[in-house]
Chains A and B, each alone.
Chain A
Amino acid sequence: METSIWRALFYLVGIMAFAALNAAYLVWCERKGAARIQRRSGPTEVGYEGLLQPLADGLKLMSKQLLVPRSVDGIIFRLAPVLAMIPGITSLVVIPFSGNIQARAMELSLLLIFALASLGMIAILLGGWASGNKYAIISSARAVSQNLAYEIPMLLTAITVVMISGSMNLREIALDQQGGFWQWNIFRLENGHFLTMWVSFIIFFICSVAETNRAPFDMAEAESELVAGYMTEYGSMGYGLFMMGEYINIVVGACLTATLFLGGWDCPFGLTSGVWWFILKIYILIFTVIWIRWTYPRTQIYRLLNLSWKILIPFAMANLLITAALIKVF
């Protein structure tokens, strides 16, 4: 792999721009999507169909005072929002957008993404802890127990994919699925994996929604109980960074789901594979996440944990065993 400084710079700027643009415009998509589902029209005033709304929101957030209450732990309080952004953006480094668009094809890229995802949880924990606010602490405790619960089935299903592909390198995993949708891990004909892999896909997708703290699993910011959860004491860009972090995490989750299960940049009919297919797949997944948010009400914390420990984990384990057996038998 070529290692010139321009390549690094190009990817740095590219990934930052991709992340920021997505964070800004996914808010717009979310508001428009919510509006359409509730038969409203959403933002319409700022620019054509409200397209400049994210810009206006950003300006508003930046022009507000960054208020640090007296009782908070100053350094951690200021650090937490930045820490919420970093793992998401860093994860994008190892995402293979297409066969030749990838910043770094590391051998353990899948592991790196899971490690960074846990770091995102630490940001929420620190933000809530440093706030010195009851609601914030309850919220971050919930977020941690939730993320712990959902990381297990997520990792178990990821292991099934790793076993099939025989690699932890996302690029290798995607390359292994080239040549039409029957090669994708979700419908894989080879060894009869299609029997169980669709269950894996559903478990993985549910977990990625839960990992990003999205509704119906947004226990961390349950307004009706916890004001705004760990974000209660944050205003201005502190809040803005948490918000952007959430949306970047959604993008990373969608990228990971598309790479692991939906063949990455592969065309369903084995014809014109390229980055456009990858973009199409991740935006379909992101739209589904938005669609889910505006369909289901928020669950309760114990139901959420029950879903993970009683349903997702047993199913993921059964899946793991069956997949291993299928690989061994055929």
Chain B
Amino acid sequence: MNSYWSDIINGGKSLVVGLGITAREFFKPVVTEQYPWETPTMLPRFRGHIELIGNEETGAPNCVVCGMCQRACPSNCISLDGQKAEGGKGKVLTRYILDFTKCSLCGSCVESCNFNALRFSREYNLASFDKNDFVMDLMKRLEDQNRCKH
């Protein structure tokens, strides 16, 4: 019989406490973001798809076409081409294609790059109806970024 009464009293008390908590929450400000109207700025460590880093002055890619990223990629997302630099040593990048449909964002390519040529972008608006939108030409992306800069 004792537990009967204590159940009623403690149960009733806990119900009132619960109502108090939700009442307090009711008057606190909203914490959600209204996504299409408010776009969040992505955090520095966000992993989007990869992108090329351009030289700060010329804007040309830092890439030396060593092919380490291509070899590091476990799912063969990356294909790149380069040609002999005109009147200099080393190679310049001519083509850098990322097949994002296969990418698992493991980051092995970024880790393997010794020339500060690759990084994660902070792109997150990636929805599309077309599969081909996810085969990305990163050279073109870098050019677009350069154009925006100037």
Residues of A within 8 A of B (CB): 33, 35-41, 44, 291-292, 294-296, 310-311
Contact = CB atoms under 8 A, between A and B. Distances in A.
Which one of A33, A37, A291, A294 has the highest number of Cβ atoms from chain B below 10 Å of its Cβ? A37
B26 A37 contact: yes
Interface of B: 4, 8, 15, 18-19, 21-23, 25-26, 28-32, 34
Nearest to A40: B32
A310 B11 CA distance: 14
Contact of B18 (A35, A38, A41, A296): A296
A44 B25 contact: no
A36 B22 CA distance: 9
A68 B30 CA distance: 42
A39 B30 contact: yes
B32 to A, nearest CB: 5
Contact of B19 (A35, A295, A311): A295
B30 A291 contact: no
Given A39-B31, A40-B30, A296 B15 contact: yes
B40 to A, nearest CB: 16
A292 B19 contact: yes
A229 B24 CA distance: 33
Nearest to B24: A37
Nearest to A307: B11
B22 A41 contact: no
Given A296-B15, A296-B18, A291 B32 contact: no
A217 to B, nearest CB: 13
Given A39-B31, A41-B32, A291 B25 contact: no
Contacts of B22: 37, 291, 294-295
Nearest to A202: B12
Contact of B30 (A33, A41, A295, A296): A41
Nearest to B12: A202
Q: Which 9 A-B pairs have the closest CB atoms?
A: A295-B22, A41-B30, A39-B31, A37-B22, A40-B32, A295-B18, A36-B26, A37-B26, A37-B25
B55 to A, nearest CB: 45
Contact of B8 (A37, A291, A311): A311
Contacts of A38: 25
B19 A44 contact: no
Contacts of B34: 41, 44
Nearest to B29: A39
23 contacts: A33-B26, A35-B30, A36-B30, A37-B22, A37-B26, A39-B25, A39-B28, A39-B29, A39-B30, A39-B31, A39-B32, A40-B31, A40-B32, A291-B22, A291-B23, A291-B26, A292-B19, A295-B18, A295-B19, A295-B22, A296-B18, A310-B4, A311-B8
A39 B18 CA distance: 16
A230 to B, nearest CB: 28
Nearest to A216: B15
A54 B1 CA distance: 49
B3 to A, nearest CB: 12
Contacts of A44: 34
